[in-house]
Every structure is written in structure tokens, then in C-alpha cells.
Amino acid sequence: MPTFTYMTRCDGCGQCVDICPSDIMHIDPVYRRSYNVEPNFCWECYSCVKACPQHAIDVRGYADFAPLGHSVRVLREEANGTISWKIRYRDGREKLFTFPIRTTPWGSIKPPTDYAAPDAAALDSPLLAHEPAALMVAALPSLPPRPEQG
């Protein structure tokens, strides 16, 4: 949309700079606050908006097709495992939505090394980690042996 930063809310912490997948949130050298250096390479992914602890970043729809007067605000709460959206239309209508984002605590994923090391022989099989159990079927499917192809 590009994103923009409100002057009075940004404290220059740089979380948006750190997360932006497009490397377009930079710190302005004079104001020491973030801004979007390349709006035409912004995907409106909201990664920076969600990451900003001060809620200082917002979005104004792409000028070439989005009329003014709208707003799509977001609150992503990792501890609750939810994300909430407030959508305001150009004509003032509002819509509110909340969706889950994760069912387990952050940081709780078991690394692959927490599982018993596989047999050396299994390295030559087509099985991937945790298979066949993880497939929830008896065996990894395979194709019947084939004659030489023509």
C-alpha cells in the first residue's frame, strides 16, 4: 500500500526494518524514525504493521487504484494466539474480525534432534522423518516396479 509511519508514534526502534521482506522500511537519518523508501515495492503484506510495538505504521491503499478514506487496522497478539482486524470503508461502514493464528505456545516446536537418531540404513530408504507413522497410513505408497520405459 503502501505503508507509512506516523511521525508522532514512531520511536525509531527498527522492528519494521528488521522484518520487512522487501527491505523497504528504513530509518530516516534526520528524524531517526522509519519510513517506506520504495512504496512501489511494497506488497501490503503488513509484516511491519503487525511487528510495530507502537502501532505507528499504517497503510494507505495504492494511489493508482484505491480511493482515499479507507483503513484496515490490525492487532496481532501472539500470547493470545489471535489476530484482530478493523476495516473501515470509505463510506464509514466498519467490519470487525478476529481469527486464531496458532494453537501451541510460541517456541514450543520440537527440533528434529529431539527425536531418536534414525538408523544409518534408513538413509537409503525413501522414507522421510517420522514416516510412515506421520502419514497415518500403514506404509509409504510406492509404484509397482516398471519395465524399462519406451
Which parts of 56-85 interact with another protein (CB under 8 A)? Answer: 59, 61-72, 74, 76, 83, 85
Count, residues near another protein per rule CB under 8 A:
81
Cβ(20)–Cβ(48) below 8 Å: yes
Q: Give the 3-state secondary structure of residue 36.
A: strand
| Minimum distance from residue 60 beta carbon to another protein (Å) | 9
The site string for another protein over 82-121 (x = CB under 8 A, - otherwise) reads -x-x-xxxxx-x-x-x-xxxxxxxxxxx-xxx-x-xx---
Considering only residues 18 through 37, tell me which ones interact with another protein, judged by CB under 8 A: 18-24, 26, 37
- Quote the least distance from Cβ 11 to another protein, whole Å: 20
Q: Which of 39, 54, 55, 75 binds another protein (CB under 8 A)?
A: 39
Question: Which C-beta is closer to another protein: that of 9 or that of 105?
Answer: 105
Could you tell me the three cell numbers for 122? 534408513
Least distance (Å) from another protein to the CB of residue 34? 14
d(CA 71, CA 89): 7
Smallest gap from residue 73 Cβ to another protein (A): 11
Report how far Cα 38 is from the mean position of its chain's Cα atoms.
Answer: 20
Active site residue 43: yes
Phi-psi bin for 92: left (phi > 0), alpha (psi -120 to 50), beta?
left
For residue 99, the SS3 value is: strand
Task: Give the whole-angstrom CA distance, residue 118 versus residue 112.
Answer: 11
C-alpha to C-alpha distance for 51 and 79, rounded to whole angstroms: 14
Positions annotated as catalytic residues are: 43
